[in-house]
Amino acid sequence: GIQVEQSPPDLILQEGANSTLRCNFSDSVNNLQWFHQNPWGQLINLFYIPSGTKQNGRLSATTVATERYSLLYISSSQTTDSGVYFCAVTPMDSNYQLIWGAGTKLIIKP
Amino acid sequence: SQTIHQWPATLVQPVGSPLSLECTVEGTSNPNLYWYRQAAGRGLQLLFYSVGIGQISSEVPQNLSASRPQDRQFILSSKKLLLSDSGFYLCAWSVRQLLGNTIYFGEGSWLTVV
């Protein structure tokens, strides 16, 4: 099955710094999503981005489907950005399945 | 707008006791429903998914079961909990065609089996 790898596994930054999180996947996919899980466990959708680039405030994401990777950019980090960032993909032959990466744990220090 | 709610938020149960976690979705019809488990804050594992009333698919053989008695209600159960059942359980929904659509999660339920 599809393998989803995220890097780095952990990231500690000062408030105001920029960061890039990466998601590699091993096969073609129909769907790629980025999620943020806050320290209280709530999972929030950030982007649905099977290809191309999207921006939402200080966050943006780019997926290069032909090269099987996606990047999540966080600019001017704030302490509220702390948490775990997951990417998840839907295989070409599935209508329900999401294959999850192990996540990047981000800590933003004030 | 659509909302998803699951309860209880936290639960401490002794080994061998039963379990019932409930999830309801409002504002949509015929959703796909999912139960995930997350251990140690990393990696979500799909436990069950359902595409309709009474239709349950299990992804991982285990001590748990799921039921969907109504279109927008999904229940996770166990007759006898094991220590290894401890974890963070998340209910989620999506429109029937996940392709091209996103998935939405409930608040989660923290289960500690003692």
Q: What is the pLDDT of residues A34-77, one digit of tens each?
A: 999 998 889 999 999 999 999 999 999 999 999 999 999 999 99
Percentage above 70 pLDDT, chain B: 94
The letter for the amino acid at A21 is: L
What is the percentage of chain A residues whose pLDDT exceeds 90? 82
Average pLDDT (B15-24) is 97
Domain of A26, in residue numbers:
4-103
Q: Which of A55, A93, A100, A96 is nearest to B34 (CA)?
A: A96
Domain count, chain B: 1
More confident residue, A24 or B2: A24
Between residues B97 and B27, which one has the greater pLDDT? B27
Strand B32-39 to A59-64 pairing:
unpaired
> Which residues of A lie inside 8 Å of B (Cβ-Cβ)?
30-31, 33, 37, 41-45, 48, 84, 86, 88, 90, 94-98, 100, 102-103, 105
We report the CATH number of the domain holding residue A21 as 2.60.40.10
Is A98's CB within 8 Å of B102's CB?
A: no
Q: A86 and B44 in contact by Cβ < 8 A?
A: yes
The answer on pLDDT for A3 being more than 90 is yes
What is the model's pLDDT at position B76? 97
Q: What is the nearest CA distance from B17 to chain A, expressed in angstroms?
A: 25
From the list B99, B91, B37, the residue with the least C-alpha distance to A32 is B99
Residue B30, domain CATH: 2.60.40.10
Q: Which residues lie across from A85 on neighbouring strands? A: A36, A104
Mean pLDDT of chain A: 94
A9 part of a folded domain: yes
Cβ atoms A32, A70 nearer than 8 A: yes
In whole angstroms, give the CA distance from residue B105 to residue A84.
Answer: 15
CA distance A77 to A84: 14
Question: Average pLDDT, stretch A81-91?
Answer: 94
Q: What is the distance in angstroms between the Cα of A6 and the nearest Cα belonging to chain B?
A: 11
- Bigger pLDDT: B43 vs A24: A24
Read off the pLDDT of residues B68-113 as tens digits, 9 standing for 90 and up: 999 999 999 999 999 999 999 999 999 876 666 788 999 999 999 9
Q: By residue range, what is the domain housing residue B35?
A: 3-113
Within 8 A of A105 by CB-CB distance, chain B residues are 41-42
Residue A108 lies in a domain: no
Residue A81, both tokens: 């950005």
Residue A31 is predicted with a pLDDT of 87
A11 belongs to a structural domain: yes
Q: Specify the pLDDT at position A9.
A: 95
Average pLDDT over every residue of B43-69 = 89
Minimum-distance CB partner of B105 among A43, A94, A97 = A43
Average pLDDT score over chain B: 91
Percent of chain B with pLDDT over 90: 73
- Asked whether residue A110 is assigned to any structural domain, the reply reads no
**In a domain? residue A109:** no
Span of A21-30, A57-66, B52-61, B68-77 with lowest mean pLDDT = B52-61
On chain B, the residues whose CB falls within 8 A of the CB of A102 are 42-43
pLDDT above 70 (res A33): yes
Instruction: Return the residue of B nearest to A43 by Cα.
Output: B105
